Structure formats: structure tokens, C-alpha cells
Structure 1
Amino acid sequence: MNKLLVLLLAFPTTFARDSLSNQFIARQGQVTFFSYASFENIEAENNHVLSLIDLDNQKIAISMLMRAFVFKKDLMHEHFNESYIESDMYPKTTFEGSLEKFNIEENGEQTRLINGIITIHGISKEIEVKTTISKSKEAIQLKGEFNLTVNDFNIKIPPILSNNIAKVVLVKFNLNYLPYESN
């Protein structure tokens, strides 16, 4: 009887632990963007990107604070946050989506699509991103790049500066995940 009681008490704990075994977290992912401009190119990097991946459901969520982007010049940082992204009103960007046809049993590199909704500047848009996914027993890495059109997110560029700021921005990401442990 005591052995049965111990087994029943241990089973839910084991089951709960197993349900987390395919959940991973990236606490310091990297997102960069590049905008070609005739006057001066605009580049920024954000190394404080949080992301969760659930391989059982093939779901992914990403969140990042817009003020965490680092620019070469302070004035670019100021204009980005105050004039264009309006970080006080829209402090973060999010993405929620799913991995398409990702084989969780296969270690190594796979190229797959991620489909989902990205929200920038209060505007949500469906996107599809070709992603390289590297999986080992201990970790997962997602890398890729995609283009975003500034007008799609209602980001206003003054006419006087329209020739100096690209209408399409190249976004690159590198997310390194470790197993998620709930404590």
C-alpha cells in the first residue's frame, strides 16, 4: 500500500516535469536592424530579447523593449524612440507564432518557416520568416532575417527626411535557448 501511494504521488510530479522538457527560453536573444540611407546608414542592436519556445506545440513567443536598442549615435537613439517608434506609448515589440513542420526528434540544423503575428508601434501584422533552427539535446538556436516595411506599422517619417530613411528595414535575429525550468 505504501509503495502504491509513493508511486501515485511521484507520478504527477514526473508528468509535470516531462511537460516542461520541450520548453526552452532565451533570456538574452539578439535582434539587429539595418536601414540603408543616402546620408547615413542606420543600425541598431538589442541584446535583451526574451523568447519562449514550446516544441510540443511548436509555438514561439518573443518580446523586446524598444528602448534597449543601441545605436552608434545617441541622437539616432533619441529620434528612434521619440519621433518614430514612440517608445513611451509603444514600449515593446512582440511576436507570437508557430514553427512549421519542425521535427523535434531530429538533432542538427533544419530550415523551417515561422508564421505569426508581429506587433510594432501598436500595429499587428502577419509575417512568415525562413529560419535556421539548430537543435541539440541541451539547447536550440534560431537564426534568420526578414524585411519590414516602415509604412506597414504606421511609423511616420517627415517628408524632409524621407530620402534619408529607408522604407524597408532589414531585421536579423539570433536566439539561443536553454531548457526552461520553473522555479
Structure 2
Amino acid sequence: MKYIGLILLAWLGINQAGQGIYVCKNAAVSLYSKAPIEDIDAHSDKGTSVLNTTTGDVAFAVPIRSFKFEKSLMQEHFNENYLESDKYPQASFKGKLNTIPDVSKDGTYPVTATGVFEVHGVKQNRTIPGKITVSKGAVSLTSEFMVACKDHKVEIPKLVFQNIAETIRINVSAVYTPYK
């Protein structure tokens, strides 16, 4: 999975170092589902991202198997029964910021990115909200959004429908370094 960053760079058509290109190789991604019987909470620090503050291009990818759960059985069901991570090994987003903040100035900038979000082999056009923060030249991005299981053909068996919510909250946090 160490090549995901390189794949993202190629995906965005970035083939040389340049001003305005930032990378993150350890983005934190979490998912949370509140359900009547049991909450589901998983985390990964294996996300990768590329942000081009000149063009507004942004891409994220996270290996599905990198999500860690408190209960190993829950993790096993997540990978084998729901997300089928052997067949669909990653979730991704490739899009463009709708407004590009001036990263030469410290501040917090609300942003949205419109693009293609892919989970479980299903691509969906999405506009995802976020926040870019610039502090002393350091660029970071955070986002929180909801994903409906049915939108990505993630089937929840009726036997466990009270254990898993129909929508999952996703949080993403990436701290970028300039691409050299």
C-alpha cells in the first residue's frame, strides 16, 4: 500500500515537483455508526492524499483492511461480509476544490470538493465539505460527511440490521507536506 501516494500523484496528472502540491502519507480516517444494539467505531492512519493548491485538485485513498476495530470479530465481518475488502481493497475520492484558499496566508478556510467517491466498487458523484487550515506554512485538511450503505451496495442482513446504522459518519484528517 506504500504505492498509493504515487498512484494518487499519477491519478492527478502530477509528474513533477511543483509549487502548490502537497502530500499526506498518513491521513487519519475514522468511521462511526450509532445503532440500537452496538456502536461501530473504526480508525485508520493509512490514508494517503494529494492536494494541489494551484489547480484545486484533491485525491484521497485509504486501504479498507487498514481500519482497526475494538473487536476483532467486528473487523472480520467488516472486511469479509460488508466491504469485501479482498475484492474492493480501497475507498477513494478524486475531485476538485470548489474554491481554492490562499495557502500563503494563515487561517481556516471552509471548502467543498466535488468529485467521485468510490467505496465497495461503487462510484458516486459527491460534494464533500471540509476545512483547510494554514498555520505557519503548514497545511492541513479535515472533513466530516455521511455515507449511506445502500448508496454503495453494502448490504446489511436483516438479522443484524439493528447492529449497523444505515448511514456511517466518516471523519478525515490530513496534514500535508510540500511535494518535492
Cα separation, partners in 2 of 1:125 and 1:46, compared to 1, 3 Å: same
Mean CA deviation greater in 127-136 or 69-78: 127-136
- Return the letter of the residue paired with 1:80: F
- 1:83 matched to 2:81: yes
Kept in 1: contact 2:106–2:137 (CA 8 A): no
Task: Identify the match of residue 66 of structure 2 among 68, 75, 80.
Answer: 68
- Cα offset, 1:137, TM superposition: 5.4
- Give the match for residue 9 of structure 1: none
Report the RMSD for the aligned CA atoms in angstroms: 1.5
Task: Identify the match of residue 21 of structure 2 among 15, 20, 23.
Answer: 23
From the two aligned structures, give the one with the greater helix fraction: 1
- Cα offset, 1:84, TM superposition: 0.2
- 1:109 matched to 2:105: no
TM-score by length of 1: 0.86
Aligned to 2:28, what secondary structure does the other structure show?
A: strand
Runs in 1 of length 4+ with deviation above 3 angstroms?
A: none
Unaligned runs of 5+ in 1: 1-15
Aligned to 2:155, what secondary structure does the other structure show?
A: coil
Unaligned runs of 5+ in 2: 1-14
How far apart, CA to CA, are the structure 1 residues paired with 2:73 and 2:114?
34
Mean CA deviation greater in 77-86 or 93-102: 93-102
How far apart, CA to CA, are the structure 1 residues paired with 2:111 and 2:138?
17
Between the two proteins, the alignment pairs up a number of residues equal to 165
- Return the letter of the residue paired with 1:113: T
- Give the match for residue 172 of structure 2: 173
How far apart, CA to CA, are the structure 2 residues paired with 1:43 and 1:81?
14
- Cα offset, 1:23, TM superposition: 0.3
- Give the match for residue 10 of structure 1: none
- Return the letter of the residue paired with 1:74: S
- Return the letter of the residue paired with 1:169: I
How far apart, CA to CA, are the structure 2 residues paired with 1:39 and 1:162?
9
- Return the letter of the residue paired with 2:91: T
TM-score by length of 2: 0.87
Kept in 1: contact 2:114–2:127 (CA 8 A): yes
Which structure has the larger Rg?
1
- Cα offset, 1:96, TM superposition: 0.2
